[in-house]
Structure 1
């Protein structure tokens, strides 16, 4: 389990992380989201002891990472797939890590096989594509068979098959009871992979909740209705406080009322409905809306 409590990091006048608190529990894939400059990478680096907090704590199973001894047995992490010696082979890179953490040599072969790099184990990493480096980074995280795993942008550079493989891998690891914490900018992938989200902006917590709950906080929630009695139904819905827009012949878009309430009103007034469908905001729509005030670099909008 990962616990962050009142975590703060200041670089001179820049407050990168500000009083951040959250818990990442085992058995779930937890997504870590935020705009550029939100403090995600700084938080992950403090979890791994690479940066020292100005104040607060970041612990894994109740201990600081630096106090865990053979770290790879406790925590596996991928922060930067390019941060490897390009002159080494994949097998040599993993073998050195295995020796330094007291891991059996067979784990090198096992993880290379698992990530699909067994056939290029002796090739120098400098000749690897970005997707191959990502797979090697994931192999490194898995090497010690740890209960806690951290991944920063693990999908970058992967082809569709690779993305599907990573999605299944993360879900399997969580199903085994591990703590899986994934930072990503790909909202569609988080929507398909994560069970829970920790969302930050400008170093502060915005949300710590399930994916469905977070998406439902977006205001673009609406209901589509098709009925031959559009004028009558629109009037009824307006009296209930809903906003109603006509989308053409027999079609209405309604905000401010649930599909269940619309159906009840139609039934009570004997109005025929041909269609009643709820549109829930996507994770991306909710994220863009709820982090709008936390965006550090905002592109200009067309006039």
Structure 2
């Protein structure tokens, strides 16, 4: 098994403010682990403590069993991208990486290899000050890969990247994890987490909210909906409501246009004119299997029973609703 990142009772206080509060989790090799939390949750502070850039008030963070600072020639053990703009603008990309290689006793060939890995070979001799944010992100990833480390940490790595760059980053992280490396990724982009991460660490106000596979977390939201179609909509709605569900009809059903020349008895009823609208329900609070069982028990025919795909964003918003430092719409 490769090296793990282990955080144990990690705490960081700034005066009277607690940024990270007794945080404990493990990041395992061979998987991409996403790090999620609202703004101000303590993600960046946690990453800085793992890398030894900030000292914890209490607790510990280790990489392969020891604090990062004890690893000689750190880039051989951990590669990290925390702030892509934190590069001297007057240096060329190659010179920036060459300085890092020298300070970590890495061979010069790793500079060219890392630039090629991130698609910056043709920009090697350009000054970083003229780079776009996306190019700076690529250079930061090249620096993280320079020592070919088994552990990689990235903070918002796709900021400023175009769709092609985002796809490239996603595939890179999946490949690095497939090679057995430990990949820890902080991002506010739910779509990227859904497409990239295997596991999630979710924090709010410095405290752990969840540490589990992404698939399990996405199904934790209680407000997932099930679409139901039935010719006995009123009857089914009553049964499901009695069982604790919240039932909404899709509609209201529009009234057909009335023609004064058409006798009343020949005018189509709304049900006949718009049968789909009168038969569709959206149900929350009960899983699809329970809805199906109740319909069968009460001899109600179902034409459709479709659980909506679990949404990572919906689960995240629900479970972190009370962990946002300044929630929109609430008085401070």
Assess same fold via TM > 0.5.
Answer: yes
Contact 2:101 2:111 in 1 (8 A): yes
Matches within 5 A, 1:87-102: 87-102=90-105
Q: 2:315 aligns with which of 255, 274, 286?
A: 286
- The answer to whether the aligner puts 1:136 opposite 2:165 as a matched pair is no
- The answer to whether the aligner puts 1:200 opposite 2:195 as a matched pair is no
Aligned length: 301
Do the aligned partners of residues 37 and 239 (structure 1) sit closer, same or farther apart at CA in structure 2, a change above 3 Å counting?
closer
- The answer to whether the aligner puts 1:153 opposite 2:156 as a matched pair is yes
- The answer to whether the aligner puts 1:263 opposite 2:266 as a matched pair is no
Aligned residue number for residue 47 of structure 1: 50
- The answer to whether the aligner puts 1:165 opposite 2:168 as a matched pair is yes
Contact 1:89 1:124 in 2 (8 A): yes
Contact 1:29 1:193 in 2 (8 A): yes
Aligned residue number for residue 120 of structure 1: 123
* Alpha-carbon distance in structure 2 between the residues aligned to 1:230 and 1:164: 44
* Alpha-carbon distance in structure 1 between the residues aligned to 2:205 and 2:233: 46
| SS at 2:250 equivalent | strand
- Which consecutive unaligned segments of at least 5 residues does structure 1 have? none
After superposition, the C-alpha distances for 1:34-54 in whole angstroms (9 at most, x for unaligned) are 111111111111111111111
The answer to which of 104-113 and 277-286 deviates more is 277-286
Aligned residue number for residue 73 of structure 1: 76
Contact 2:223 2:285 in 1 (8 A): no
After superposition, the C-alpha distances for 1:51-77 in whole angstroms (9 at most, x for unaligned) are 111111000000111100010000000
* Alpha-carbon distance in structure 1 between the residues aligned to 2:169 and 2:177: 12
TM-score, normalised on structure 1?
Answer: 0.95
- Which consecutive unaligned segments of at least 5 residues does structure 2 have? 252-277
* Alpha-carbon distance in structure 1 between the residues aligned to 2:328 and 2:301: 46
| SS at 1:163 equivalent | helix
Aligned residue number for residue 273 of structure 1: 302
* Alpha-carbon distance in structure 2 between the residues aligned to 1:23 and 1:6: 12
Aligned residue number for residue 84 of structure 1: 87
Aligned residue number for residue 174 of structure 1: 177
* Alpha-carbon distance in structure 2 between the residues aligned to 1:296 and 1:268: 47
Contact 1:30 1:197 in 2 (8 A): yes
- The answer to whether the aligner puts 1:295 opposite 2:324 as a matched pair is yes
* Alpha-carbon distance in structure 2 between the residues aligned to 1:220 and 1:241: 13
* Alpha-carbon distance in structure 1 between the residues aligned to 2:175 and 2:130: 30
Aligned residue number for residue 233 of structure 2: 230
Q: Note the aligned Cα RMSD (angstroms).
A: 1.4
* Alpha-carbon distance in structure 2 between the residues aligned to 1:261 and 1:297: 38
Q: 1:61 aligns with which of 64, 76, 84?
A: 64
* Alpha-carbon distance in structure 2 between the residues aligned to 1:243 and 1:209: 29
Contact 2:222 2:285 in 1 (8 A): no
Runs of 4+ in 1 over 4 A off after TM superposition: none
* Alpha-carbon distance in structure 1 between the residues aligned to 2:310 and 2:223: 6
Question: Displacement of 1:140 after TM fit?
Answer: 0.4
Question: Displacement of 1:280 after TM fit?
Answer: 4.1
- Computing the radius of gyration from Cα coordinates, the structure with the larger value is 2
